[in-house]
């Protein structure tokens, strides 16, 4: 590991010095200050994850300049910031597409046809996992789990759910994105935001769309409804004794 990687970024390093345009640097400074203000004094390094999402909302990935800026603001080394950015799969290390498509091929999704969905979208786009189209429109990721097993097989676009997919429906979805058409997720906002728009949301800046569309779907709520119909309740601590 290089000496540069283990050296804290200079305290006076600013967004402009790192190559950001003055207006972008000013907005980043303001947004980073707001993110850091959410944490108690002395615990500002806890802001690293939302700050990395903020960087992705500007650069489309966790860029070297973004890593340096986060390191400077949190008084960390670039290595410490890079360690977080490489640990979590939502952080991209090269530019993601405007629409980042994740196809789950783990366990239940695979049993229900996730591998066939993956092959279809990969053949349609000519992309492999963690690759981005030449026009920057689409990127693909083979995902280990989309945390939506009750709707397998599942595809996500910029972290929004498209449930119960088939190879044909997934290819149609990507074709619509490639043509610039709005698409509506199974659950979530009325139309899919761009990658950068959703990254800003993940950084903690509301987009005003929280009440749009469907929240939890019928399959997710079925157990709760059955419990209410039969008056089933979780055992209390006293009952466990």
- Tell me: the pLDDT tens digits for 200-232? 999 999 999 988 888 777 878 888 889 999 999
Asked if 104 and 190 sit in the same domain, the reply is: yes
Is residue 214 in a domain?
Answer: no
Is residue 230 in a domain?
Answer: no
Asked if 13 and 62 sit in the same domain, the reply is: yes
Specify binding-site residues. Answer: 104, 109, 145, 149
Is residue 241 in a domain?
Answer: no
Asked if 111 and 184 sit in the same domain, the reply is: yes
Is residue 215 in a domain?
Answer: no
Is pLDDT at 239 greater than 90 in this prediction? Answer: no
Instruction: Give the domain CATH number at 67.
Output: 1.10.10
Asked if 134 and 170 sit in the same domain, the reply is: yes
- Vertex 35: Cα angle to 31 and 40 (nearest 5): 150
Structural domain boundaries enclosing 74: 4-87
Asked if 66 and 153 sit in the same domain, the reply is: no
Give 191's contacts (C-beta < 8 A, 6+ positions apart): 182, 183, 184
Asked if 75 and 113 sit in the same domain, the reply is: no
* 27, 62, 87 - which closes a domain: 87
Dump pLDDT digits (tens) for 20-52.
999 999 999 999 999 999 999 999 999 999 999
More confident residue, 19 or 120: 120
Is pLDDT at 94 greater than 90 in this prediction? Answer: yes
At residue 49, the pLDDT reads: 98
Specify binding-site residues for [2Fe-2S] cluster. Answer: 104, 109, 145, 149
Instruction: Give the domain CATH number at 117.
Output: 3.40.30.10
Work out the mean pLDDT of the chain and round it to a whole number.
90
Q: Is the dihedral angle over the CA atoms 112, 116, 120, 126 positive or is it negative?
A: positive
Dump pLDDT digits (tens) for 95-113.
999 999 999 999 889 999 9
The total domain count for the chain is 2
- Distance, in Å, from the CA atom of 164 to the CA atom of 123, rounded to the nearest integer, reads 20
């Amino acid at each position: 590991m290089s000496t540069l990687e283990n050296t804290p970024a200079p305290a006076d390093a600013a967004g402009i010095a790192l190559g950001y345009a003055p207006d972008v640097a000013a907005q980043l400074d303001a947004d980073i200050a707001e993110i850091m203000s959410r944490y108690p004094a002395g615990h500002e390094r806890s802001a690293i994850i939302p700050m990395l999402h903020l960087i992705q909302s500007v650069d489309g990935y966790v860029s070297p300049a973004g890593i340096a800026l986060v390191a400077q603001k949190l008084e960390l080394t670039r290595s410490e910031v890079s360690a977080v950015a490489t640990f979590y799969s939502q952080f991209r290390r090269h530019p993601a597409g405007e629409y980042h498509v994740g196809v789950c091929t783990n366990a239940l999704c695979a049993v229900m046809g996730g591998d066939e969905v993956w092959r279809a979208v990969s053949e349609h786009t000519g992309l492999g996992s963690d690759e981005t189209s030449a026009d920057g429109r689409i990127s693909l990721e083979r995902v280990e789990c989309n945390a939506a097993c009750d709707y397998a097989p599942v595809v996500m676009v910029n972290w929004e759910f498209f449930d119960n997919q088939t190879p044909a429906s997934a290819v149609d979805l990507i074709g619509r994105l490639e043509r610039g058409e709005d698409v509506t997720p199974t659950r979530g906002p009325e139309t899919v935001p761009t990658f950068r728009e959703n990254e800003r949301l993940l950084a903690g800046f509301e987009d005003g769309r929280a009440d749009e569309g469907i929240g939890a779907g019928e399959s997710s709520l079925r157990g709760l409804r059955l419990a209410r119909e039969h008056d089933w309740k979780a055992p209390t601590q006293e009952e466990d004794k």
